[in-house]
Structure 1
Amino acid sequence: MQRRPKAILIGIAGDSGAGKSTFVGELRELIGSDRVMTISIDDYHSLDRRERNLIGVTALHPWKANNLGLLIDHVWQLKAGRTIQKPVYDHSTGTIAPPENVTPTDIILLEGLHILYLEKLREALDLKIYFDTDTRLRVRWKVRRDRETRGYTEEEVLAEIERRRTDVVRYIEPQKAWADLVIKYVPDDDRAPTEDNPEPIKVQIAERLRGPKRRLVKWLSLGSRFGLIEAVHYYENIVGEEMEVADIQGKTAPTSMNALMEMISDTAHLKEKMNERDYDPIRVTQFLVANMIMELAYGRQGIQGAWAN
């Protein structure tokens, strides 16, 4: 295969606990780990946990607690296909670890608090996504993650969430205005929890009407009209701009999911990954965004066509 001279860069921003890292990991698995690398821009924290506590700043402060200048340089180096020496932040200890060499793959998924914060970062991105997950889920997921993997108690996590609230409003949420897609996980209060679905969630996907023609919501609207998926279609003003929105709800059967994917894309690669009993709204969203990224990188023929060239 003839490799691209430049990498495709996807930026996924949002508050801590919004589900970004899990979503990015699933995208990498769907597209192919040999073609996709993921980078958490938490690695560009310039202060460790002890230093932040000592001077009274949170990790959300763009310039006091992060080296965004180095991040800008590295993002453009990666886009040009060059190897970088990336810093590493160890969340388990809250310390800065030795750097590591990173050589770009075809597709690079960058996720974190500030990836849409500066114009020079946004200019390098081929697709910009903001995770606007409902506060109830964000708090629940952040408590669970930080308690299980980062050594915090629940009380410490809740206190940190409260301490960060002002910085979330000031530095994180305004990035929504620059996103091509705004993805929001919302508790589905209309559906009772079950053993195989203890936390029913619906997904709202808002897509900017202006800019490059990358329509995802229109396919969901069409799919709902054909009875393939339960999706409510409407328009809503988000951060001062009208956006097209689809709310995905309930379960999508394998036959319907397969028909939806065939309607959207010629890519056979993702169809080979479709072996699940049914598809909840989050899983549907992962497949659709993975397909969008593959088309950006390889065109409508997808990975199989790229291999053949």
Structure 2
Amino acid sequence: MSVNHPVVAITGSSGAGTTSVMRTFEQIFRREEVSAAFVEGDSFHRYDRMAMKDELARALTDGDHSFSHFGPEANLFEDLETLFRDYGETGTGRVRKYLHDEAEAAPHGQDPGTFTPWGDIAEGTDLLFYEGLHGAVVTEKVDVAQHADLLIGVVPVINLEWIQKLQRDKEKRGYTTEAVTETILRRMHDYVHYMTPQFSRTHVNFQRVPVVDTSNPFIARTIPSLDESMLVIRFANARGIDFPYLLSMLRGSFMSRPNTIVCPGGKMDLAMQLIFTPMLWRLLERRAKAG
């Protein structure tokens, strides 16, 4: 953790909705004139797209049916921890970018599914903002979570998470339902051991719970909308949270536990604005006082 160079991390599984949360933070940063160094978790995968396919084929040949992007074998956890630690100490660190598609790859003259060269974060940013799978990961060798000043989990209930992943991978990546289902099954071991434990280390969790039937996510035709959901917001430490104010601003919300607010899913963006803006103020005020 750092006073002078805060690290904010959004953590969630593939298909959980972390990208939507990132867009909300982009709005906050623009409004509050915060200069953020954005880091995508995909850039810390160990293998590019083709190499990952080769490694997966090798693992299956060797009888390993749990090799996945969720686990340490497919990621550079040590490098991610180094980035968080170095940024906290110096305000910079080594990063690269994973180029997902043609639009991202064309300006670099590279193929989609590859990485840009490593480079240093430009000096002068106010904070580092990470969005990806492993912002709070801890293993026997690394502890990424200890270096973050604000950790946020995005955790839809599991059936909703699967529906979102199925729809995204089929529509945007052309995968079949069977192929996505196979990926979900293969990732389950790493999901349990490396993804789920992170959400006990986060400072705030946003969990979307649909209020429509999602009993069989593998036949769902549409993703339940925000208005068809409730949002469970859990604070690890309720001290300093103005719950009466939040309840008054989030119409239809209520407290389910002393550290938990439940509100209509359509209020998700507003809830994030209300909760995270003062948290960022505190981080930046602390930074200004230390400077």
TM-score (norm 1): 0.70
Counterpart in the other structure of 1:245: 260
Question: Tell me, which stretches of 5 or more residues in structure 1 are unaligned?
Answer: 191-196, 236-242, 251-279, 301-305
- 1:52–1:58 Cα contact (<8 Å) kept: no
Match of residue 133, structure 2, among 113, 135, 138: 113
Q: Match of 2:197, SS?
A: helix
Question: Which one has the bigger helix percentage?
Answer: 2
The counterpart of 1:220, out of the listed 235, 240, 246, is 246
The one-character-per-residue Cα deviations of 1:17-42 (angstroms, maximum 9, x if unpaired) are 11112201221122217622321122
Partner residue, 2:235: 207
Q: 1:61 maps to what in 2?
A: 71
Output the aligned Cα RMSD.
2.9
Cα distance 1:75–1:5, how it changes in 2: closer, same or farther (>3 A)? same
Aligned mate of 2:157, from 111, 127, 134 = 134
Tell me the distance in 1 between the aligned counterparts of 2:57 and 2:254.
48
CA distance in 1, matches of 2:226, 2:196: 29
Matched to 1:18, the amino acid is: A
- Whether 2:78 is the aligned partner of 1:72: answer no
C-alpha separation in 1, matches of 2:114 and 2:185: 22
CA change 1:94–1:234 in 2 (3 A) is: same
Cα distance change of structure 1 residues 215 and 42 upon mapping to structure 2, 3 Å threshold: same
**Partners of 1:82 and 1:107 in 2: how far apart?**
8
Aligned pair in 2 of structure 1 residues 177, 139: CA closer, same or farther (>3 Å)? same
TM-aligned CA deviation for residue 199 of structure 1:
5.3
Quote the residue 1:38 is aligned against.
Answer: 38
Does the residue aligned with 2:118 lie in a helix, a strand or coil? strand
Q: Give the counterpart of 1:51 among 42, 51, 54.
A: 54
Contact 2:3 2:283 in 1 (8 A): no
2:133 partner amino acid: L
Per-residue deviation, 1:217: 4.3
1:296 corresponds to 2:282: yes
More relative contact order in 1 or in 2 (CA 8 Å, sep 6+)?
Answer: 2
Q: Note the residue ranges of structure 2 that are not aligned, 5 or more in a row.
A: 60-66, 102-111, 214-224
Taking structure 2 as the reference length, what is the TM-score of the superposition?
0.74
Aligned residue type for 1:61:
G
2:28/2:273 contact within 8 Å kept: yes
CA displacement 1:178-202 (0-9 Å, x = unmatched): 1111110111349xxxxxx685222
1:98 aligned to which of 112, 117, 122:
117
| Shift in Å, 1:287 | 0.8
Matched, 1:125 2:154: no
| Count of matched residue pairs | 250
Q: Match of 2:254?
A: 232
- Percentage identity across paired residues of the two chains: 23
CA distance in structure 2 between the partners assigned to 1:41 and 1:207 by the alignment? 23
After the TM superposition, list the runs of 4 or more consecutive aligned residues in structure 1 that deviate by more than 6 angstroms: none
